[in-house]
Structure 1
Amino acid sequence: MSQTVRAFVFDMDGTIVDNMAFHTQSWLAFFARRGRAVDADEFFRTTAGRQGGEIMRSYLGEHLSHEEVALLAHEKEELYRELYAPHLATVSGFDALIGAARAEGVKLAVASAAPPSNIDFTLDGLDLRHRFDTVVCAADVARGKPHPDGFLLAAQRCGAAPEHCIVFEDAPLGVEAARRAGMRAVVLTTTLPAEAFAEFDNVICIARDFSELNIAELFASSPATN
């Protein structure tokens, strides 16, 4: 009998790295340049996990062409990288968790709404890319979260069925994407408090960081018993 393939699928921003405050700052600065005042909390709740182009069109108009969106996104992401570069670091316990998971034969994937430039900035900046079996970014799927496309593609590339994947997320739209993919989710409270995820029936654990997690317990868990 073949062994079941298990996988951990990690969101990147706000999960592998605690950077969402810097993303929000860069968006606010980007919109301020255009005379738009945006509420930071509301912006995060409605956009975290969505692709940059989707956000641009939501706030600046659906009429924007692909080329216009690309130029605007480049400006915004340069702002973000400039702000966050001095602080680039993994969330506590991450390196130990993926090392232990790899030793137990768990496949490792990243599924992020980030553009390729930010994937490079983070994963290569931290020398992490080689530790993952696959990396899915915004350029690989047509739709961002809460659609499940990114998580499903990551699972497919890992050769793991959705029910044997555990997603790590920090945002409600990401947890919803995991739910739609048929995957259990672990929530990190790097960005929002635990109560922000009370409505989700696929959450098996809520933790401050990765140091609180146990691999065997996670795969043994089900939302119905947690």
Structure 2
Amino acid sequence: MTVSSGENSADSKYSLSGLAPLEAVLFDIDGTLCDSDPLHYYAFRELLLQIDYNGGVPITEEFFIEKIAGKHNDDIARGLFPNWDLEKGLKFTDDKEVLFRKLAKDQVKPLNGLHKIRKWIEDRGLKRAAVSNAPRPNAELMISLLGLSDFFHAVVVGSECDRAKPFPDPYLKALEVLQVSKDHTFIFEDSVSGIKAGVAAEMPVVGLTTRNPESLLMEAKPVFLIRDYDDPKLWAALAELDQKGAPGATAAA
């Protein structure tokens, strides 16, 4: 179901004002900072064809969304190759990441409005971290290509936590590293796995409808969905948050 702009819904459904005073904003990377899923899909499809996966029939985008998007490589390897030992499956995902990074260098672009939300966050002196299930070389490459290396105070990756998304561990680690409270932090995410991780960490998640179906994202319980960082619904929620007492705004205690 498509989420409306909120005219016929309770305002609180699209509100972030309960977080005031806001301390931090956390971002996923793939599909959240940039529309990189088509590159991941292409890389998986081509390498799976090379090993005659599925009898040589190319995987579909629907298969990619269901079995791969947003998941950690350990889980992807187990899901794609249940009869392989994990080491062999991870060698395949490592090869895929090499191809992805090669493609990304020329094709990664920021989501619409990304630099607008960056300025909003910087102007208020908020802390920020990137939290991803991607391998660290991928995460740091994407951040660099997007010109965000000086923006993020921390980069947390799932493989360096006890458990990756959809478990809350990566987001809880980000709170610890930034030394902020979950009660004054929210998350941007684009996948079911990521939204579930944020919700499990007891933080509100704003979902981006970059590639994944809205109906699936809503089942993971984001506070609301936006198409990108230019979405008026996001800016209405941020304006309300400012009024309620975000850093840089005048508000009652």
Distance 1:98 1:28, change over 3 A: same
Q: Which residue, 106, 117, 134 being the options, matches 2:154?
A: 134
Q: TM-score, normalised by structure 2?
A: 0.77
| 2:34–2:109 CA contact under 8 A, matched in 1 | yes
- Post-superposition shift, 1:93? 0.8
Q: Which has the larger radius of gyration?
A: 2
2:110 is the alignment partner of 1:110: no
2:214 is the alignment partner of 1:197: no
2:97 is the alignment partner of 1:77: yes
- Post-superposition shift, 1:169? 0.8
Q: Which residue, 66, 74, 99 being the options, matches 1:53?
A: 74
Name the structure 1 match of 2:38: 21
- Post-superposition shift, 1:131? 0.6
- Post-superposition shift, 1:115? 0.5
Q: TM-score, normalised by structure 1?
A: 0.86
Distance 1:60 1:218, change over 3 A: farther
**CA–CA distance in 2 between the matches of 1:197 and 1:116?**
25
**CA–CA distance in 2 between the matches of 1:157 and 1:198?**
29
2:176 is the alignment partner of 1:176: no
- Post-superposition shift, 1:179? 0.9
Distance 1:34 1:111, change over 3 A: same
4+ residue runs of structure 1 moved beyond 3 angstroms?
68-71, 216-220
2:53 is the alignment partner of 1:36: yes
- Post-superposition shift, 1:70? 4.8
| 1:111–1:151 CA contact under 8 A, matched in 2 | yes
1:144-196 deviation line (CA, Å, top 9, x unaligned): 21111111111111112223221111111111111111010111111124222
- Post-superposition shift, 1:133? 1.3
2:123 is the alignment partner of 1:123: no
Distance 1:70 1:45, change over 3 A: closer
1:8-49 deviation line (CA, Å, top 9, x unaligned): 110000000111111111111122222113343133223322
* Structure 1 counterpart of 2:81, one-letter code: L
Question: SS in structure 1 opposite 2:223?
Answer: strand
Question: SS in structure 2 opposite 1:157?
Answer: helix
| 1:51–1:143 CA contact under 8 A, matched in 2 | no
Distance 1:54 1:196, change over 3 A: closer
Distance 1:65 1:200, change over 3 A: closer
1:205-225 deviation line (CA, Å, top 9, x unaligned): 2111112222344687xxxxx
**CA–CA distance in 2 between the matches of 1:60 and 1:194?**
28
| 2:185–2:203 CA contact under 8 A, matched in 1 | yes
**CA–CA distance in 1 between the matches of 2:225 and 2:126?**
20
Question: SS in structure 2 opposite 1:173?
Answer: helix
Distance 1:143 1:49, change over 3 A: farther
Question: SS in structure 2 opposite 1:9?
Answer: strand
The number of residue pairs the alignment matches comes to 216
* Structure 2 counterpart of 1:76, one-letter code: K
| 2:171–2:201 CA contact under 8 A, matched in 1 | yes
